[in-house]
């Protein structure tokens, strides 16, 4: 048959995969930060919350005899629960739920305060712990959405109450459209798999026909990925310059990196006025020689300990001199490496710390983001913060605080490119809170990167298992545009997460990373045969590929790229090879 076919064509049709069908309650990724005259309907119809819209008065809610809770109705017909602060800036129990330790719970509700503004914390009190499910910046006169989640470590009763450190003592917390929805681990994984299929892959259709456009069955097509589109990288230390084993281990796995310390001010200028970039230059040369993209970390750092030792006790009353020093630092590092890095962390951790702000002023971050953008117009500038995902009880960098920091930068005059950097230094993990937090941050439609992912090695023997869980969760979320691990190696070991031993043999955690790389890149290759109509279909992760058609005497090689197709567009890309 091959002798009769001097002309073959290999046609690639790329389009978005359809939604998977299964009898699992879909996860609701929706969130709005808009303050509305009337709350939206509760997610999941309220889930296990009875009377979630308070249309039946207080039925199913006040569980405590001292609860100061009332049922009110607005002029627009909206019913809601009004809870008074009774002690220590918190309400009494609003509701008791029976929660199970093997379930994952999403939580959402809409809030308003009767007077002023307040930052409100939703808390579930179990037999062993108080668990923050989420935060919201509530206002007088309109409704704002809280979205979060929780897991519990003991099955039993959990009492819901609310707390605020800044509410007017005579104000009430108004609550409506309350939802708590349980999911099993199997359902949670289904959500992950469904999201990966929808957002990380596209369906690829191969069609093989002869010169007369007749289908060619049983043609073998082999597919090999040459580069993954999803950025997945790891930090490195200067130790890599002196270790061939480190270089080989790293370069065979990662195409993205960030320097652990070697681009920080305290490393580059250990003595005032003596700036040394020799190690930084060498690390950048290593990365460039292996086509590894570098994130610039960090231009400035709000933490006192992030400054050079000679600057950490700089007095507040010498602000102009301090401003000159920081200006010099920004000009020095950014002009040297502009065009060489694709991201810059500009003012690191400016939600937890304020060393720079105390010396320059409230708008110090906006000043340096504007300055950084003027120097490097092509780079994406990031906020970079910890505990936004990791610890639900940390108010300082919780999701609503993060949103407010973004709006503050805009109001202070920085209008340039901005990214959300989430450090993700995990101890115990609350996956529903992680997913909900990314939903909240996605509402401002800025690029979201996981910038420093690790798992604390002091929180139990299951470090590798928890690493597996969090990588899968983060990669599955459609809003996450890249992941950088924080696992640089030095002769002394690693900060909190090692992937190898000192001889660069994989630990269990390293095997987890390799497993994901193999899964995403099809490292073992893919192969299939065309059907009776000449078609072969498969789902591929977005990336660059080579496909080899074997039929007849000579194989046909074609290079192509699988890319996202946009918001539901039926985009079709056709490639054709003739022999």
Residue among 197, 260, 452, 473 flagged as catalytic: 452
Contact call for residues 111 and 136 (beta carbons, < 8 A): yes
How many angstroms separate the CA atoms of 137 and 163, rounded? 12
362: annotated active-site residue? no
Q: Would residue 101 show up in a list of annotated catalytic residues for this protein? A: no
For residue 507, give both structure tokens.
Answer: 């630990």
Residue with tokens 């040459």: 226
CA–CA distance, 210 with 215 (Å, rounded to integer): 7
Which segments of 376-493 does DSSP mark as H helices, in order?
Answer: 399-411, 431-442, 463-476
CA dist 421 and 386 (Å) reads 9
Task: Decide if 459 contacts 427 (C-beta within 8 A).
Answer: yes
Which letter does DSSP use for residue 40 in this model? P
Q: How far is CA 136 from CA 37, 145, 203, in A?
A: 16, 7, 39
Q: How many Cα atoms sit within 13 Å of 203 on the Cβ side?
A: 14
**Bridge partners, residue 545, by sequence:** 225, 560
Phi-psi region of 416 (alpha: psi -120 to 50; beta: other; left: phi over 0): beta
Nearest to 222 by CA among 561, 573, 524: 524
Could you give the CA distance from residue 111 to residue 138 in angstroms, rounded to a whole number?
A: 6
Q: Active-site residue among 53, 197, 349, 385?
A: 349
Q: Give the residue numbers annotated as catalytic, written as ranges.
A: 349, 452
């Amino acid at each position: 048959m091959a002798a009769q076919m001097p002309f073959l064509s290999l046609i690639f049709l790329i389009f978005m995969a359809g939604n998977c069908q299964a009898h699992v309650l879909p996860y609701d990724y929706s969130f709005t930060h808009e303050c509305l005259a009337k709350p939206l309907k509760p997610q999941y119809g309220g889930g296990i919350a009875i009377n979630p819209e308070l249309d039946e008065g207080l039925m199913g809610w006040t569980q405590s005899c001292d609860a100061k809770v009332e049922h009110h109705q607005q002029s627009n017909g909206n019913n809601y629960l009004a809870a008074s602060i009774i002690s220590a800036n918190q309400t009494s129990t609003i509701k008791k739920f029976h929660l199970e330790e093997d379930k994952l719970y999403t939580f959402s509700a809409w809030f308003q305060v009767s007077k002023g503004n307040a930052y409100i914390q939703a808390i579930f009190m179990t037999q062993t712990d108080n668990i923050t499910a989420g935060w919201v910046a509530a206002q007088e006169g309109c409704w704002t959405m809280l979205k979060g989640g929780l897991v519990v470590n003991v099955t039993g009763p959990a009492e819901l109450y609310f707390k605020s450190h800044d509410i007017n003592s005579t104000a009430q917390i108004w609550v409506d459209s309350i939802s708590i929805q349980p999911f099993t681990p199997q359902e949670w994984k289904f959500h992950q798999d469904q999201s990966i299929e929808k957002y990380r892959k596209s369906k690829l259709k191969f069609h093989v026909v002869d010169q007369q456009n007749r289908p060619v069955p049983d043609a073998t097509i082999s597919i090999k990925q040459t580069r993954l589109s999803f950025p997945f990288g790891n930090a490195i230390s200067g130790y890599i310059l002196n270790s061939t084993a480190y270089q080989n281990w790293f370069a065979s796995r990662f195409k993205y990196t960030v320097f652990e310390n070697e681009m920080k001010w305290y490393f580059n200028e250990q003595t005032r006025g003596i700036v040394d970039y020799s190690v930084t230059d060498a690390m950048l040369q290593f990365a460039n020689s292996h086509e590894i993209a570098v994130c610039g970390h960090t231009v400035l750092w709000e933490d006192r300990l992030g400054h050079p030792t000679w600057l950490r006790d700089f007095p507040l009353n010498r602000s102009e001199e301090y401003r000159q020093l920081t200006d010099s630092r920004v000009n020095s590092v950014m002009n040297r490496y502009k065009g060489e890095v694709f991201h810059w962390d500009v003012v690191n951790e400016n939600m937890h710390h304020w060393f720079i702000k105390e010396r320059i002023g409230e708008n110090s971050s906006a000043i340096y983001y504007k300055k950084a953008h003027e120097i490097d117009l092509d780079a994406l500038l990031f906020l970079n913060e910890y505990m936004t995902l990791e610890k639900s009880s940390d108010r300082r960098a919780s999701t609503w605080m993060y949103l407010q920091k973004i709006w503050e930068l805009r109001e202070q005059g920085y209008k340039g490119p901005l990214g959300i950097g989430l450090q993700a230094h995990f101890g115990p993990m609350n996956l529903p809170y992680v997913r909900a937090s990314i939903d909240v941050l996605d509402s401002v439609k800025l690029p979201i990167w996981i910038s420093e992912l690790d798992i604390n090695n002091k929180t139990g023997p299951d470090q590798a298992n928890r690493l597996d869980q969090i990588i899968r969760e983060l990669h599955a979320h459609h809003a996450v545009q890249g992941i950088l691990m924080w696992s640089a190696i030095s002769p002394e070991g690693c900060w909190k997460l090692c992937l190898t031993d000192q001889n660069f043999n994989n630990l269990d955690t390293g095997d987890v990373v390799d497993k994901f790389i193999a899964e995403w890149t099809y490292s073992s290759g893919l192969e299939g045969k065309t059907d009776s109509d000449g078609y072969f279909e498969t789902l591929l992760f977005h990336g660059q590929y080579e496909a080899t058609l074997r039929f007849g005497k000579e194989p046909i090689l074609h290079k192509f790229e699988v890319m996202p197709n946009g918001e539901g567009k039926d985009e079709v890309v056709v490639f054709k090879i003739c022999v």
